[in-house]
Every structure is written in C-alpha cells, then in structure tokens.
Amino acid sequence: MKINPALKEELKRYLRNRLQSSNKRVVITSPYLMGDQDLRKIQEKFPFLREAKIITEVDKSLIGGFIIKFGSKMIDLSLRSELQSLKQRIYGIT
Amino acid sequence: MALLDQYIKEIEKELTIKPKTKMSADEIGEVIEIKDEVITLSGLDNVAYGELIRFDNGVWAMVIDMLPAEVGAIVLGDYLKIKSGDIAKATGNTLSIPVSDDLLGRVVNPLAEPLDKASKIKSVKMNPIEKVAPGVIYRKQVSESLQTGIKSVDALVAIGRGQRELIIGDRGVGKTTIALDTILNQKGQNVVCIYCAIGQKNSKVANTIELLRTHEALPYSIVVSASASDPATMQYLAPYSACAIAEYFMDKGQDVLIVYDDLSKHAWAYRQISLILRRPAGREAYPGDVFYLHSRLLERAARRDEKYGGGSITALPIVETLEGDVSAYIPTNIISITDGQIVLDGDLFNAGMRPAINVGLSVSRVGGAAQAKAMKQVAGKLKLDLAQYRELSAFSQFESDLDPETKKFLNRGAKITQILKQDKHNTYDLASEVAIIWAATKGYLDELTIPQVEEFEKKYLEDLQLRGKSLLKRINEKRILEEKEEQELKKFVTDNLPSPEVTSSIDQHESSDSPKKN
C-alpha cells in the first residue's frame, strides 16, 4: 500500500504531538469537582503541574484529598489511602 | 500484665508521634490480566527486573517479565485476592527472606514463613533469594569429605564438602532415601542440613519430617517446602530460597548440606510460568533459559576459602527420569552442571540391590580428592574388583566352563556386591565402612555363601562395636589404616567367620590366604 507523502507527514506530526502531550498529561482525581482556585493552589505546591495539561476526574470513594497521576507515577494524598494504611497497620499486614 | 503495659506504651508512642503527610510519587501499575499466579500490569515504567511490587490488600508480587508496554509479575501468596484493575505499587526492593539460627529445626515455605504452627521466626538479617555465586577467587578446592554413611557412596562416589552431586533415577528407586540417609548421618558432624521439597506430595513431606524427627535429625535441619498444592511460583522460588538460607550459614563459616528434591519438578514449574508469560518454548516446551535456571542455582554451592570466611554448601540435587532415560533434556543439563552423579537403576532395585546404585554410570569428579585416607586404601581395590566383575558378569551364566581365574573374579564380585547392600536409614560410620570393605577386598569372604556373608557382616560389626570400640575410634580419628589396625581387623574377621564345620573349605582358604592375597 502506498501512502501519500503529504498525508504521511501530516500523520507523523499529529502522532508526535499526541505522544508529547500524553507525556505531559496529568490526571488529578478528587472526590468532588475542583474549581480553578483549587487547581491553582495545587499548582503552587507542585511546580511541574504548571506546564502540564491537567485533566480532572471525580471519584467519590476517595472521601477527601486528591490523587495526581502522571505517566506511571502516582502521588496519593487521598483520605482513602490513609485509612487503608491505618487498617493495614491495625491488622498487622505491613 | 506486662503485655498490657507494653501495648499501652506502644499506643501512647503512636499517639504522641505527630502524623505528617508523607508525599511521595509512587510507581504504579494497573492489573490488566491475571493468568493463574502470573499477572500482567500496565504502567510500572520504571521498575527493575526482580523488583517487588505490592498491592493495597497486602499481596506481594515479583516482576519477572518486562515487555515494551507492560510488565509480568508472579504473585507471592494468594493470587485469588487480586482483581483486574487493581493498583500495585513498586517498592524498590528485590525479594529477600529473613534468615537466622531460629530456622534450625523448622519447616518453612519459600518465603521463610513457618508452616509448622510453632513460634514466629525471628530474623537476624535479610538474604536476597537471587544472588550471584561466589567467584573463583573466593573458592577453594574441595578437600574435606562429607560422609554419607552409605557404604557404596562413600567408597565409590565419594562426596566432598562444597561438591554438587546429582542423584538421578526413576521414581521409587530410592533417590530421596539416599539424600535423607546422608542428612541422618550428619548428626554431630556440625553440618547444617536443608531439605528443599519442590512440588512433592504433602504426605511425603510429612513422612520426611517425621523421619527426621524420629532420628533426631531435626535440630540441625531445615525443611523448605513448596508442595504440589502450592502455586508454581512458590515451587519456582523454593530452591533459591533454600539456597539463601544455606548462604546465611555458610557466611557464618559453617558447612551446609542442601538437598533439592527434585529439580525436574522445579523445571516443570518454571515451564508453566514461562508458557503463561508467552515466552518462546524450546525443546520439550521448556523455555530457552532453563539451563541457566539450574546452573545459577547449583553454582551457588561452593567451598569458600578460609581467607574469606570459610564454610561450604554441598548440594545434592535430585532428578527423576522416565524409564531410566538419562539423555532427556533436564537430566543432561543437570548432569553437565554437577560434579558427578549417582545413578540409581530400577532393575538393580528390583533385583534386591539396595541402594540400587549403578556403579558403572555413577561418578564423582571431585570427591575422590576429599576421601578419607583409610577409605581410599580399601576403595581402590574395591573399584578394581567391581570393574572386573562387571566385565565378566556376562559370562556368569556358563559358570562351569570358566577357568578358575575368571571364576575367582566372579566370586569376589558377587561377595563385594553383597557387602555394598545396606538397609535404608541405617548409616555406618567411617570405621565400620572401612572394616567391612576391608574384609571383602582382602578375600576373607570368598569362601562364604551369600547368606553367610550377610550373617557375617552383622556379627562382625556387632563384635567390633562390642570389643573393638577403641579400634573403630582410632580409625575414625586417624582416618588411616596402618599395619597395626589391619592386624586387629584381621583378628576380628577370623573370629567371626563361620566355623569350619559349616564351610568345609575354610581351612584351605585360610592357608592359601595370607601370603597371596593382594
């Protein structure tokens, strides 16, 4: 199959863009929808979030706090994980 | 009361510590696939091979496969608790097990968790399960013998401390018995014994533990068990974990004996894991690295130079063959890795030869140098006699047509073969072994019938235990046979030979004996 060279260039550029943005894409999950003010506060604390494209998600099961996900990394500052580690400490799993 | 106080103190301490929000970026992965005990995760872009990952519900897993976009891991523990979509966090550690002297006399699983419902095992340090074997600089020649207490093994395929000697044979011909007898014989020898059961029936492992207990071998032994009902991942880890325990004792300068029972089941477990991970299958569907699987394990058996702390690990891997086929994939691999093999033969076993050691195929490539001098003195003649016997045994059918010389060889060989028989779990000390083999190789038993030889051995050894204690002690300590000892042995032999009325030819034998027998 022959691909039109112009089309190929266009496709390449599109894919490269998407790849780059996915690297900088950050998902912030919180138990309620966050407003701009909340986000700004978080960005102040985490400077690397300033250039990133932020996607917000809502997950009620977090109870409180928030989770920042980028790439395969995760910063977990939610109440749920705190409670979970407390539970584990009580049962002596850790 | 004291316990309650301790609790209160503990709680107070926890309350006074101000909780601080820890902020850390964790490396995470999401479960996308679960196949038996092997899971595939997406994410985890920055983990290392062999790194431990942990699920929120406390289940651990170890990374053993890394593909461009996903990571494969084996679950250590209950994989039924893991659901698709679960999040695992990388820990940055490789798999290590707690080791200490507390392990002695215990039965543990591959993660060093007790299986015997006794007290918790206190750990002194953590030893990594996978460790690179000591290099050439740290090693020393195998120069000290490890007495198995089995006449035929000690005489013909001597095992040295730090050696790796394969025990190979069909099922039910006494492979485990040889290994266990060796463990039983280490009582009071300052050798730590580790029995690693891989993929065995729980009932068999229970029998083994009972055997060790009744023979008072448990206090210096450790049983590491991953039975047939445990996940393949546990069976895969078991020998490495047993070796990690062995290394702890070697690091303390002690001699360790480790039995892997058996490595063919270990290869099966690894094959299962590899096939689930979709690794390309090779011969007999084993993955390409099945050789390395065993070589890196057995290479960890070593005799370390005293300059670097001394100590040794002697490995007795066991491999099961099908219909005596030692040229199958796994047996040939392990034969080429080890320093010799003890081949057990089903036909010999059925013919009543116990232990059923095939003397022709069994070799020990390094142990001879470590053999006690006394044993070397008698074993040389024994080997020669047996070799001649084997060569001529084909003619034994037409005995009447043979010349006297050949008949003599055949006769001697039959008596020696009888002498090498031994009941299971009945180990001999060095002196007893030497005494009975000495009697046979000197030709004192040539005139007896086979049942008489059996009778003689019993009487002779009893007599030695009764009247010749000092002689046995001397041989055990000096580990050499001198003129004086031989004279005394001769006296004991002639005292215990059946009286001339029973064997009419005994006089003739006696007269022809002394000058000529070489």
- Number of Cβ within 10 Å of residue B408's Cβ equals 14
Location of structure tokens 């000697």: B165
Confidence of residue B513 (pLDDT cuts 50, 70, 90): very low
Whether cis (ω within 30° of 0) applies to the bond prior to B355 is yes
Distance from CA of A64 to the nearest CA of B (A): 13
**Chain B residue closest in CA terms to A46:** B23
> CB of B217 within 8 A of CB of B274?
no
B264 belongs to a structural domain: yes
Q: Which long-range contacts (CB under 8 A, 24 or more apart) does A46-50 make?
A: A46/A75
ipTM of the complex: 0.70
Residues 6+ apart with CB under 8 A from B108: B114, B115, B121, B222, B223, B224, B225
Residues B341, B211 within the same domain:
yes
Contact criterion met (CB < 8 Å) for B25 and A72:
no
Which domain CATH number covers B135? 3.40.50.300
Q: Which residues of B220-258 are buried (b: 16+ CB within 10 A; e: fewer)?
A: bbbbbbbbeebbbbbbbbbbbbbbbbbbbbbbeebbbbb
Residues B134, B253 within the same domain:
yes
Residue A19 pLDDT more than 80? no
Contact criterion met (CB < 8 Å) for A72 and B24:
no
**Chain A residue closest in CA terms to B19:** A82
B453 belongs to a structural domain: yes
B12 belongs to a structural domain: no
Residues B387, B318 within the same domain:
no
Residue B27 pLDDT more than 70? yes
Q: What count of CB pairs under 8 Å joins A to B?
A: 32
Q: pLDDT: is B312 or A26 the higher one?
A: B312
Angle at the Cα of A67 from the Cα atoms of B27 and B58, rounded to 5 degrees = 55
Domain that holds residue B240: 98-118+126-371
Q: How far apart are CA B330 and CA B222, in angstroms?
A: 26
pLDDT tens digits for range B246-255 = 999 999 999 9
Confidence of residue B12 (pLDDT cuts 50, 70, 90): confident
Q: Catalytic one among B54, B139, B296, B365?
A: B365
Q: Residue B295 region, left (φ>0) first, then alpha (ψ -120 to 50), else beta?
A: alpha
Residue B58 pLDDT more than 90? no
B13 belongs to a structural domain: no
B306 belongs to a structural domain: yes
Smallest Cβ–Cβ distance between A74 and the set B21, B26, B58 belongs to B26
pLDDT of residue B240: 97
Q: How far apart are CA B52 and CA B62, in angstroms?
A: 5
For residue B52, the chain A residues in CB contact (below 8 A) are none
pLDDT of residue B118: 75
Check: pTM over 0.90? Answer yes or no: no
Does A79 reach chain B within 8 Å, measured CB to CB?
A: no
Does B27 reach chain A within 8 Å, measured CB to CB?
A: yes
B169 carries a ligand binding annotation: yes
Does B44 reach chain A within 8 Å, measured CB to CB?
A: yes
Residues B365, B436 within the same domain:
no
Work out the percent of chain B whose per-residue pLDDT is above 70.
95
Residues 6+ apart with CB under 8 A from B155: B375, B378, B379, B382, B383, B420, B433, B437
CA distances from B410 to A53, B54, B382, B416 (A): 91, 67, 13, 10
Q: Taking the alpha carbons of B328, B330, B336, B340 in that order, is the dihedral positive or negative?
A: negative
Q: Which of B176, B298, B180 is nearest to B239 (CA)?
A: B298
pLDDT of residue B394: 79
B346 carries a ligand binding annotation: no
Distance from CA of A81 to the nearest CA of B (A): 9
Residue B516 pLDDT more than 70? no
> CB of B440 within 8 A of CB of B416?
yes
Residue B511 pLDDT more than 80? no
B174 carries a ligand binding annotation: yes
pLDDT tens digits for range B284-312 = 999 999 999 999 999 999 999 999 999 99
**Chain B residue closest in CA terms to A89:** B58
Residues B236, B379 within the same domain:
no
The DSSP element (H or E) to which B221 belongs, if any, is: strand B221-226
B430 belongs to a structural domain: yes
Which domain CATH number covers B85? 2.40.30.20
Contact criterion met (CB < 8 Å) for B26 and A94:
no
pLDDT of residue B22: 65
pLDDT tens digits for range B107-135 = 999 999 999 877 888 888 999 999 999 99
B413 carries a ligand binding annotation: no
Contact criterion met (CB < 8 Å) for A73 and B29:
no
For residue B29, the chain A residues in CB contact (below 8 A) are 72
Mean pLDDT for the stretch of residues B43-61: 90
- Beta pairing partners, B118: none
Is residue B474 part of the annotated active site? The answer reads no
Q: How far apart are CA B138 and CA B429, in angstroms?
A: 31
Q: How far apart are CA B267 and CA B334, in angstroms?
A: 11
Domain boundaries, chain A: 23-91
Classify residue B282 by burial, with Cβ atoms within 10 Å: 0-12, 13-18, 19+. middle
DSSP B435: H
Judged by CB atoms within 8 Å, which residues 87-106 of B form the interface with A? 87, 89
Tell me which of B371, B392, B419 is where a domain ends. B371
Smallest Cβ–Cβ distance between A72 and the set B24, B46, B58 belongs to B46
Contact criterion met (CB < 8 Å) for B25 and A71:
no
Q: How far apart are CA B13 and CA A87, in angstroms?
A: 18
Q: How far apart are CA B297 and CA B239, in angstroms?
A: 8
Tell me which of B309, B340, B371 is where a domain ends. B371
Distance from CA of A19 to the nearest CA of B (A): 14
> CB of B92 within 8 A of CB of B51?
yes
Does B470 reach chain A within 8 Å, measured CB to CB?
A: no
Q: Which amino acid is at B292?
A: Y
Residue B21 pLDDT more than 70? no
Contact criterion met (CB < 8 Å) for B28 and A74:
yes
Domain count, chain B: 3
pLDDT tens digits for range B325-373 = 999 999 999 999 999 999 999 999 999 999 999 998 999 998 888 899 9
Contact criterion met (CB < 8 Å) for A94 and B24:
no
B22 belongs to a structural domain: no
Distance from CA of B262 to the nearest CA of A (A): 33
CA distances from B199 to B90, B284, B499 (A): 29, 19, 53
Work out the percent of chain B whose per-residue pLDDT is above 90.
74
Residues B251, B140 within the same domain:
yes
Question: Which of A69-83, B84-98, B162-176 has the weakest average pLDDT?
Answer: A69-83
Q: How far apart are CA A76 and CA A65, in angstroms?
A: 9
Upper half-sphere CA count for residue B492 (Cβ side, 13 Å): 28
For residue A73, the chain B residues in CB contact (below 8 A) are 25-28, 46
Residue B85 pLDDT more than 70? yes
Confidence of residue B199 (pLDDT cuts 50, 70, 90): very high
Contact criterion met (CB < 8 Å) for A71 and B58:
no
Residues B382, B321 within the same domain:
no
pLDDT tens digits for range B182-196 = 999 999 999 999 999
B175 carries a ligand binding annotation: yes
pLDDT tens digits for range B218-235 = 999 999 999 999 999 999
Residues B211, B262 within the same domain:
yes
Smallest Cβ–Cβ distance between A72 and the set B23, B28, B56 belongs to B28
Residue B445 pLDDT more than 50? yes
Mean pLDDT for the stretch of residues B12-33: 79
Show the beta-strand stretches assigned E in B294-449: 312-320, 340-343, 363-364
> CB of B142 within 8 A of CB of B303?
yes
pLDDT of residue B260: 97
B173 carries a ligand binding annotation: yes
Distance from CA of B240 to the nearest CA of A (A): 24
Residues B161, B246 within the same domain:
yes
Judged by CB atoms within 8 Å, which residues 316-335 of B form the interface with A? none
pLDDT of residue B498: 86
Residues B285, B148 within the same domain:
yes
Distance of alpha carbon B243 from the chain centroid:
12
Which domain CATH number covers B471? 1.20.150.20
Residue B518 pLDDT more than 60? no
The per-residue pLDDT of chain B, averaged, comes to 90
Does A72 reach chain B within 8 Å, measured CB to CB?
A: yes
Residue B274 pLDDT more than 50? yes
Residue A36 pLDDT more than 70? yes
> CB of B225 within 8 A of CB of B115?
yes
